[in-house]
């Protein structure tokens, strides 16, 4: 029997908002509840993702177009090798960043957000649910500094202010939710789990009907 396709949930937000921790906690909680679930992060481990990480660490300058191209190629591979096979096998996939990151970050660098979105939606399945972990940039930068001493070139204050604003511009879309990431991590986790269970519960209702 072909498994019922899994659901795709994307966690988004500025650097330091706690996405990675929350992605892992959400997957662990879903597994505990008896679901198949897995998380992938972007940029990933393809040659393009590795190149991007090198660029961030070295603080090298590349054009916004080149940056977008590297993220897009990395994502194309992530969709082919990780995301689609997991969904097809019936696993729920929790993305630690997905294409809204490109729309927000590369959009702020001057690329047309609608173009970035359309280019990405041509190669990557649309999430069933996107959750933006929102918090003020000051708090995010303090968390980053506490975690590893300093911020990298992606993490300038003004840049992140604009990225945050860009994310919040999507908050009114029907499959996009915003969660207050200034709350205690346990509370953020509970909020994410409620949203995920609402999505999966809606699936269960459909199967029963």
If you compute the radius of gyration of the chain from its CA atoms, what whole number of angstroms results?
Answer: 17
With CB atoms as reference, the residue minimizing the distance to ligand TYD is 105
Choice between 35 and 143, CB closer to ligand TYD: 143
Choice between 1 and 147, CB closer to ligand TYD: 147
- Range 19-38, binding ligand TYD (CB under 6 A): 20
Contact call for residue 105 and ligand TYD (CB under 6 A) = yes
Tell which residue, 96, 119, 89, has the closest CA to residue 27: 96
Stretch that binds ligand TYD, among 85-93, 101-109, 165-173, 196-204 (CB under 6 A): 101-109
User: Which string of DSSP letters, residue by residue, matches 57-122?
Assistant: HHT----HHHHHHHHHHHHHHHIIIIIHHHHHTT-EEEEES-HHHIIIIIHHTTS-HHHHHHHHHT
Tell which residue, 158, 50, 163, 154, has the closest CA to residue 100: 163
User: Under DSSP, is residue 12 helix (H, G, I), strand (E, B) or coil?
Assistant: strand
Choice between 17 and 191, CB closer to ligand TYD: 17
Contact call for residue 102 and ligand TYD (CB under 6 A) = yes
Contact call for residue 154 and ligand TYD (CB under 6 A) = yes
Q: Which of 46, 82, 101, 130 binds ligand TYD (CB under 6 A)?
A: 101
Q: How many Cβ atoms sit within 10 Å of the Cβ of residue 162? A: 18
Answer whether 128's CB lies under 8 Å from 83's CB: no
From residue 55 to residue 74, the character string flagging contacts with ligand TYD as x (rule: CB under 6 A) and all else as - is ----------------x---
| Residues at the contact surface with ligand TYD, assessed by CB under 6 A | 15, 20, 41-43, 71, 97, 101-102, 105-106, 154
């Amino acid at each position: 029997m072909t498994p019922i396709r899994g659901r795709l949930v994307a966690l988004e937000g500025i650097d330091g908002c706690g996405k990675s921790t929350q992605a892992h906690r959400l997957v662990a909680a879903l597994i505990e509840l008896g679901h198949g679930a897995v998380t992938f992060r972007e940029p990933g481990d393809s040659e393009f993702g590795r190149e991007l990480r090198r660029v961030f660490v070295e603080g090298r300058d590349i054009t916004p177009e080149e940056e977008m191209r590297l993220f897009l190629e990395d994502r194309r591979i992530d969709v082919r090798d990780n995301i689609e096979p997991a969904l097809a096998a019936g696993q729920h996939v929790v993305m630690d960043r997905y294409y809204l990151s490109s729309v927000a970050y590369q959009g702020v660098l001057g690329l047309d957000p609608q173009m970035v979105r359309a280019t990405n939606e041509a190669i990557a399945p649309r999430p069933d649910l996107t959750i933006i972990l929102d918090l003020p940039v000051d708090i995010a930068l303090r968390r980053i500094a506490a975690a590893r001493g300093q911020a990298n070139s992606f993490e300038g204050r003004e840049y992140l202010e604009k990225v945050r604003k860009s994310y919040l511009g999507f908050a009114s879309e029907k499959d996009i939710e915003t969660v207050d990431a200034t709350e205690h991590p346990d509370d953020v986790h509970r909020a994410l789990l409620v949203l995920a269970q609402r999505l999966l519960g809606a699936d269960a209702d459909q199967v029963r009907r």
